[in-house]
A and B are shown apart, each in its own frame.
Chain A
Amino acid sequence: MAARDNHGTGAPWDDAFRVVGQPLRKVDGLAKATGQALYADDVQLPGMLHAKILRSPHAHARIVSIDASAALALPGVHAVITGADLPIRYGVIPWTPDENALAVDKVRFVGDEVAAVAAVDEDTANAALDAIEVEYEPLHAFLDPREALATPEPQIHADIRGKPVRGNVSKHVELEFGDVEAALAGADLVLEGEYSFHGSTHAPIEPHCAVAQVSADGLLTLWSSTQITHYVHRALAQVLELAPERIRVIQPCLGGAFGGKSDPFALEFCVALLAQRTGRPVKMLWTREEVFYAHRGRHPMQMQYRCGAKSNGRITGVDARILIDGGSYSSFGLVTTYYSGQLLTGPYDFPSYRFDSTRVFTNKPPCGPKRGHGSVQPRFAFEVQFDEVAERLGIDPIEIRRVNFQGDDTQTVNGQRITSNGFLRCLDLVEEASGWKQRRGQLPYGRGLGVAGSMYISGTNYPVYPNDMPQAGIQLKLDRSGVVTVFTGGNDIGQGSNTVVRSIVAEELGVAYDHVRVVAADTDLCPVDLGAYSSRITFMVGNATIDACRKLRHQIVTALAEAWEVDPRRIRLMEGRAFDVEDPDRTVPTREAFQVAEARFDTLGSTGSYNTPQLGGDYRGGTIGASPAYSFTAHVVEVDVDVETGIVRVPAAWCAHDCGRALNPTLVAGQIEGSTYMGLAEALLEEHGVNRFGLHRGPSLLDYRMPTSLDVGDIHAMIVESVDPEGPYGAKEAGEGPLHGSIPALANAIHDAIGVRLRHLPFTPGTVLRALRDQGGKGEGAAVGSTAAATSKREAR
């Protein structure tokens, strides 16, 4: 069994941390800044071919025939493959394998992959794509999720894993905890409203890229810009029908992912098969347009919420009905559907809760996990409604969030274990820093402040495919050179996980920070880790790292104590030296300590691992979203609304995030800033969708409006350290939680500024103006939205 033991949350040597908590530079910071970092597209191999993918021009169509003979006949073309060559279906969630690397029989969105070509260069490959003849028989395309829900035929997927699909429903989850109807009946105020979240995508700076090489003895090596090496490894084995022993997957330096590189993608299978077929290395680099088609971004959701509260602000029950637009494939959709409900039950105490979430297939680019997977949309809806509850009850919006605080060391209504919980501190910090008490209500018309709270997981105990092996593994090697090499399967996607690993090792073994080398995300070299998703790496890999370090540390200390003939408890390894704490003059560099240990114990190395404890409610799906520790966040956003143009500016946002312990405060602050930026970006500017023809609205960085540096105000990141009992030194996640509240806090600030409740994202200037026009603006009484109905029993009486 993998180690689940708890190493304590304190510093490994005496009281103070030496490395942890320092704002140290990222392992790869200089390499990235100077251009030395090697990305997948930097892989150049002798004889390498370039591959391109032919995509569907139809949103939904049957493939009648494919004729690639003219393409194959072109000089410089080495191979053409189609769906018939890769018939095995896969999917990142093993219960829903509904993807083919290349379409078999039908295509499901404009941009779906149909054929792939390997040629001497990209131009030849593109010319070959033009020469492939595909005959399609168009089918009715579903662009509207409501229509897809109501219309069982034609089906986008007829069956998945041999099981028939019900109409166009991808997943349905309905769970109730406590008696919601009774709770609402017993409330003093019940609010009901409709909310919607549009789609948005990740838009990492690096487009997807993969290179495959097959060695003379048949070993396949794949370099890929993936954030989950292990799942790519598994999927390749399955689809190519290759033994896993014959596959090596390497993630080079990665230029951002945000969830968009979590699935196995068509390009990975295609380059692998093309390399097998041609005997040459093959590279495929997607264009920006293709990255938009690959998508797997935020699911559009249409949400109905009912929230009951007592007159003192205490929530009695929450009821949600959610329609999720999944796009054309399942991707992580099973998890998304659960997350849309399961992750709302903190930081507030819900005495009762029900959600009914339905994900449907539509003929659009497939949705998947984007930063804050599945829970950003419901969080938006709930926090906006909750703000309205506060307003109706005449309670300060921060105060109502305090009143409902669930506390630490508790359990949520849906059976999730809450350990540390620094939410109150987060609220205090944003209240204070934003000048909430002095400024809110005092700002001129058009200016306003809004608040929101949220929580998120630090990994979950649902390992995507069921198994009893550790979720995180790590291996250490150290020797007489003084260098410690760490082998981690964790995927550093820019979030800095390799830097965290390095800090932990330097702290534990007392070596200089830059004497630690990190080798990561190479399936031949590194132990398995489940990869960069669900904000799991710091927590899980961090714990595994401590585990491995403690084993080695024990050997070093033992060897030195023997050599010095002192009690091992007197030995310290710190800041590059080993010394006797009672006789500090007795000291050697850690390198020499390693030599003593190597002499005593032979070649030195250790492994460490982590697995979650048994978690989650005892019901179907109860483990999905059950995390060993939850992070908590509070946001205050300030807005400046130009009521004549509808343009919303955010001069400042404050985000306080409880990450347990900041192993590197610069990285945590970076995640808080990046998350808050990303949330505000998708709320105000970004929109991922299709037009009336089912074509992407504008698959380019010109038309997909990501905010520039000029469009972003000051983001004040504040760190709260609740020191979680099970996190590595008490750390929890920081990469996704700080996105959630930014969007509802913005909506609530707009309401404070102009008296208009915006319930439908995005908040484009046109929407803001229309809402102002429809609702009459500040002063006319808020919450008179056409889609929200409120019943106040107090008033009725």
Chain B
Amino acid sequence: MLRLPRFALERPRTVAEAVALLADPDREALLVAGGTDLLPNMKHGLFEPDVLVSLEDVDELRAVEVDADGWLSIGAMTTLADVAADERVVARAPALAQAVSLISGPQLRTMGTLGGNVMLDTRCQWYNQTYFWRKSLGFCLKKDGTVCHVVAGGRKCVAAASNDSAPALMSLSALVDVEGPEGRRTLPVDDLWLADGIWNKKLGKGEVLVRVRVPPQAAGHRGAYGKLRDRGSIDFPLLGVAARLDVGDDGAVADADLVAVALAARPVRVRGARERLVGARPGEASFREAVEAVADEAHRRLTPLENVPGDAEYRAAMVPVYVRRTLLAAAEGAGPVHHL
């Protein structure tokens, strides 16, 4: 077995205590939730913290609630299995429930958390490897090295955002509450990201993601998630697509959104999707045409890189297919779109 490096473990009981521990100038500290991303990465020598600050005992991070105004709030420490099975999530944020239900496999979903998924490190076939392997390669920009193996001569890491929940949360216009040394703040999930594969979040490493909040959706809200991967379980996305369609009383799309992941360093919104879909009526030819137009648009705009394993040309060919299928599934109140 690969060995975990040595580290100290802290188990604060409140978010404030956790923030204080992270701020310790003498020790490099990292948060750990379920550990399903961080611990394998530590075994690969990708992170070398002195201390892990476990959020395990911070009860305030666990609740799933719907408030009086209809906001759905999910504590960062809610496990993926609980998120996927929660009826309130399924009803109010179907794309999120679907996306989370397809993350990794059953065992990992009972350990992994939503907060950890939002904060997932970006992934790359040249990076998510053992220390021996990376050293034999000569390392890369993201960790310990100076060159990129995906983009020859590239000066910026393009490791892929690979968290399935991210595009779903963006399509739902969700917010995140975070707490840091300066106190609490709220920001849209949309604004969480940086186009930098080395660290693709605007959150500092001293901040704790407290909860995710999903605003009340329109009455005719429909959402779906499509995920391309090799196997029916375990694998990270080779492409992930979250769709939202708000269908008005008149049966026409009143609002729509489409966000994809596993392409570049940050999740990517398909521009123009909304404009093309609004006004179209699911079930009618106009909708089908709009969907095709969005699929074509996505095909043009979204170009998978050879960051994640596998065949990038194939992933590119799958962009329009998964966009179309996910939009159609959303319209029908179906999904997730997955090859099984």
Contact = CB atoms under 8 A, between A and B. Distances in A.
Interface of A: 55, 57-58, 110, 122-123, 126, 285, 287-289, 642, 644-647, 649, 685, 693, 695-700, 702-703, 705, 707-708, 710-711, 764-766, 769
B231 A708 contact: yes
Interface stretch (B48-56, B113-121, B129-137, B283-291): B129-137
A710 B2 contact: no
Contacts of B311: 764, 766
Given A645-B321, A708-B233, A769-B314, A699 B2 contact: no
Contacts of B202: none
Contacts of B339: 642, 645, 647, 649
Interface string B37-77: 00000000000000000000000000000000000000000
A509 to B, nearest CB: 44
Contacts of B236: 702
Contacts of A700: 129
Interface in B1-32: 1-3, 6
B314 A710 contact: no
Contact of B133 (A123, A696, A710): A696
Interface string B204-239: 000000000000000000000000101111111000
A4 B339 CA distance: 54
A710 B318 CA distance: 22
A705 B230 contact: yes
A710 B230 contact: no
Contacts of A698: 125, 129, 309
A703 B234 CA distance: 10
Nearest to B149: A693
Given A289-B133, A698-B125, A710-B340, A685 B231 contact: yes
Contact of B231 (A289, A711, A764): A711
Given A705-B231, A769-B314, A57 B135 contact: yes
Top 7 closest A-B pairs, CB basis?
A: A710-B232, A766-B314, A57-B136, A766-B311, A708-B233, A647-B339, A705-B230
Nearest to B232: A710
> Most chain-A CB neighbours within 10 Å: which of B130, B135, B136, B235?
B136
Contact of A289 (B2, B128, B228, B234): B2
Contact of A699 (B105, B133, B314): B133
- What DSSP secondary structure best describes chain B's contact surface? loop
7 contacts: A122-B3, A289-B130, A642-B339, A649-B339, A695-B133, A710-B231, A711-B232
A57 B133 CA distance: 8
B276 to A, nearest CB: 21
Given A126-B3, A708-B233, A711-B232, A289 B314 contact: no
Contacts of B191: none
Nearest to B317: A769
In this complex, the interface size class of chain B, counting residues with CB under 8 Å from chain A, is: 20 to 34
Interface string B176-199: 000000000000000000000000
B144 interface: no
B86 interface: no
A696 B130 CA distance: 11
Interface in B286-340: 309, 311, 313-314, 317-318, 321, 339-340
A695 B231 contact: no
Given A698-B309, A765-B314, A769-B314, A710 B137 contact: no
Contacts of A696: 133
A693 B137 contact: yes
Contacts of B318: 645
A567 to B, nearest CB: 63
A769 B321 CA distance: 13
A57 B314 contact: no
A774 to B, nearest CB: 14
B132 A702 contact: no
Given A649-B339, A705-B231, A695 B136 contact: yes
A723 B234 CA distance: 44
A210 to B, nearest CB: 15
Nearest to A703: B309
Nearest to B43: A287
Contacts of B136: 57-58, 110, 693, 695
A57 B135 CA distance: 7
A710 B338 CA distance: 12
Nearest to A290: B132
A122 B3 CA distance: 8
Contacts of A711: 231-233
B63 to A, nearest CB: 32
A608 to B, nearest CB: 41
Nearest to B130: A289
B309 A697 contact: yes
Contacts of B232: 708, 710-711
A433 to B, nearest CB: 25
B217 to A, nearest CB: 30
Given A685-B231, A698-B125, A55 B132 contact: yes
Interface in B268-293: none
Contacts of B130: 287, 289, 699
Contact of A695 (B2, B3, B137, B340): B137
B314 A764 contact: yes
> Most chain-A CB neighbours within 10 Å: which of B132, B236, B311?
B132
B314 A708 contact: no
Given A55-B132, A645-B321, A699-B129, 19 more contacts: A57-B135, A122-B3, A123-B6, A126-B3, A287-B2, A288-B1, A289-B130, A645-B228, A645-B318, A645-B339, A685-B231, A693-B137, A702-B235, A703-B125, A707-B231, A710-B231, A765-B314, A766-B313, A766-B317
A705 B2 CA distance: 19
Nearest to B105: A708
A110 B129 CA distance: 14
B245 to A, nearest CB: 21
B234 A708 contact: yes
Contacts of A110: 136
A442 B80 CA distance: 44
B305 to A, nearest CB: 15
A702 B231 contact: no
Contacts of B135: 57
B122 to A, nearest CB: 16
Contact of A710 (B1, B3, B128, B233): B233
A219 B313 CA distance: 59
Contact of A285 (B1, B125, B133, B137): B1
A285 B271 CA distance: 52
B89 to A, nearest CB: 23
Interface in B77-129: 105, 125, 128-129
B314 A646 contact: yes
Given A642-B339, A645-B318, A695-B133, A123 B3 contact: yes
Nearest to B339: A647
Contacts of B3: 122-123, 126
A773 to B, nearest CB: 9
A685 B234 contact: no
Contacts of A122: 3
A697 B128 CA distance: 11
A51 B135 CA distance: 21
A287 B1 CA distance: 5
Nearest to A710: B232
Given A698-B125, A764-B311, A644 B133 contact: no
> Most chain-B CB neighbours within 10 Å: which of A642, A649, A708?
A708
Contacts of B128: 702
A110 B130 CA distance: 13
A764 B228 CA distance: 13
A766 B314 CA distance: 5
Contacts of B321: 644-645
Nearest to B136: A57
A765 B231 CA distance: 12
B33 to A, nearest CB: 20
Contacts of A703: 125, 309
A764 B229 CA distance: 12
